[in-house]
Amino acid sequence: MTGLISTGWAGAMVPLDAITRVSNDWKNDHRVKMRTVELNDGRKFDLTDTQADALQGRAVQIIPALPGVSLLSVDLEPTLEGSCILAEPVIAWALCVDGDIRPVTPAGVLSGRSIWDDHYVEMVGGIQSVGDLTEPPGFSDRVEMLQHFFTMEYAKKHGADGFVSELDADVAPQVQA
């Protein structure tokens, strides 16, 4: 699979396999986080941190997914009853530039979301995180996942100390279950 990236030079695109190194973050004169990309012919160009993140999440190989796998996202509302989990079918798995394997939906790798967001996939054995940094690593089902994220959001808005006792009487038993 051939991928191209814009160098920022007028009309200049380079294949991903021409990249030999991407530097650590540094800040330019405007205090914008940047990274320098080095090519196998010695040329270099700079990317913003956001562009570099997008580069890392680019697919270099696609592997078809088995049916029944879904990428999940949580839509939180002010009440637990109004909140829901959205599921998108995973049609493939992408081996990305940074070496991570990510789910592909009809909308793209990670459904077009940032590689730094928390991502979960639902498979036959339960719900598992995508990536090493996502916490918690998984859930037994969608109810447990929704309760976790609703509780975390409630704690952020109302303070973590004793937040479950402050929940409305209708919601508290569902969150603690």
Identify the pLDDT of residue 120. 92
Identify the pLDDT of residue 70. 96
Identify the pLDDT of residue 157. 80
Per-residue pLDDT of the chain (177 residues; tens, 9 = 90+): 556 666 666 557 788 888 888 888 888 888 888 999 899 999 888 888 888 887 888 888 999 999 999 999 888 877 777 788 899 999 999 998 888 899 999 999 999 888 878 889 999 889 998 876 677 888 999 889 888 888 888 888 877 554 444 444 445 444 443
Identify the pLDDT of residue 88. 96
Identify the pLDDT of residue 92. 97
Do 150 and 80 contact (CB within 8 A), yes or no? yes
Do 80 and 171 contact (CB within 8 A), yes or no? yes
pTM over 0.75: no
Identify the pLDDT of residue 165. 43
